[in-house]
Structure 1
Amino acid sequence: MKKNLIPAIRLTLVMLILCVGIYSGIVWLIAQVTPNYGKGKMVQDKNGKTYYANIGQKFDSDMYFNSRPSAVDYNASGSGGSNKGPNNPELLKDVQERVDLFKAKNPGEEVPVEMVTASGSGLDPDISVAAANAQINRIARARHIMPGELKRLVQQHTAQGAFGPAKINVLKLNIALDGVKR
């Protein structure tokens, strides 16, 4: 038994040093050369309140661009999807309710898929340009703002990444929306 126990303890210590010490140190060093030192992107609203821009926030008021649904109720400590398959009756019911709500709030607009389905993480902070444009008339009515002004605001906050379609950070867009004069 001693013949196997000593090498097992040595291997455990070596792996502990490698996996806990060295690996964690490398990840920490990489974080130090990223923006905000790996702590996430922070933004402030006009009242000085600070938010994480890279974590989805809940916006469901008619006065704001609505965010994507979240399977984890926007709880960053429990990131994840619903794990319900495409034929799950509960998921289909939830999506249909979201479609009906979107159509009621935004009559005559196409329903963008990301406005009725949650992302894989449940914390997606972005929506597509089409999803933002589909909400412009509702927000214009609620805030008494010309739709053209909101379209310009959407264009200003559209970001084209290296991969994938153009997207808009809902939190940043809504903070800018609060700055628009009525």
Structure 2
Amino acid sequence: MITLIRPALVLIVALTAITGLAYPLAVTGLAQTLLPRQAEGSLIERGGRVVGSRLIGQPFAEARYFHGRPSATTAPDPADVTKTIPVPYNAANSGGANLGPTSAALSERIKGDLETLRSDNPGSAIPVDLVTTSGSGLDPDISPEAAEFQVPRVARARGLPEPRVRALVAANTADRLLGVVGEKRVNVLELNLALDALPPG
């Protein structure tokens, strides 16, 4: 009996040591050495404090800031744990809404968003990423078209000339990876931080 149990116990201990300790420590050490900023979560610091991550969006509601994509993430309702409430960009509960084209809730939300966007910039075509959520609900980026659409509102709210705000959008537009993979994009948090850093006038 002991001859059958001993190899099983040795295997459990060995695999626990390899896969539970050695491998995670090796991968963490390699990541910290080769890609330290990414390994720490691509955090953005200003004035010695962390203000966010390049990888996770944040809700911006004020007119003076660029807004990101809608987020469908939720959290438990403090008043009733059997229900959830909307909590945009909740990194602890990444996921999409899973609402289909026949959903009344989705239709109402999109109608409300469209009305708000039309009042911000009347007569302009509304970029689709300003009314659709991403699969993760955490998307930190918007398209350059979505940022351009918001320029008049942001410029008005800050008392800045539109060309100056447009130039800031262009300066904060990232190209496709290697020039061919993905789409051009604007990181909303980085753009808003650059906007706050603009000298007055």
Q: TM-score range by the shorter chain?
A: 0.7 to 0.9
Displacement, 1:70?
A: 1.3
What's the offset of the Cα at 1:16? 2.6
Q: How many residues align?
A: 181
Q: After TM superposition, which residue ranges in structure 1, 4 or more long, deviate above 4 angstroms?
A: 1-11
Separation in 2, partners of 1:26, 1:82:
37
Percent identical: 38
Q: Gaps (5+ residues) in structure 1?
A: none
Q: Distance in 2 between matches of 1:56 and 1:39?
A: 17
Residue of structure 1 in register with 2:56 after alignment: 55
1:130 to 132, 135, 145: 145
DSSP 3-state at the match of 2:186? strand
For 1:120-154, what per-residue CA distance to the aligned partner results, in whole angstroms no more than 9, with x for missing partners? 22111111100000001111111111111111101
**Cα distance in 2, alignment partners of residues 27 and 122 from structure 1:** 28
SS in 2 for 1:135: helix
Q: Give TM-score scaled by structure 1 length.
A: 0.85
Partner of 2:81: none
Residue 24 of structure 1, CA deviation: 1.4
Q: How does 1:96-135 map to 2 (within 5 A)?
A: 96-135=111-150
Aligned-CA RMSD value: 2.3
- Aligned twin of 2:95: 80
Partner of 2:16 in structure 1?
16
Change (3 A) 1:26 1:151: same
Q: Which has the higher strand share?
A: 2
Question: Higher RCO, 1 or 2 (CA under 8 Å, sep at least 6)?
Answer: 1
**Per the alignment, in what secondary structure is the counterpart of residue 50 of structure 1?**
strand
- Structure 2 length-normalised TM: 0.78
Where does structure 2 lack aligned partners over 5 or more consecutive residues? 74-87
For residue 176 of structure 1, what is the amino acid of its counterpart?
A
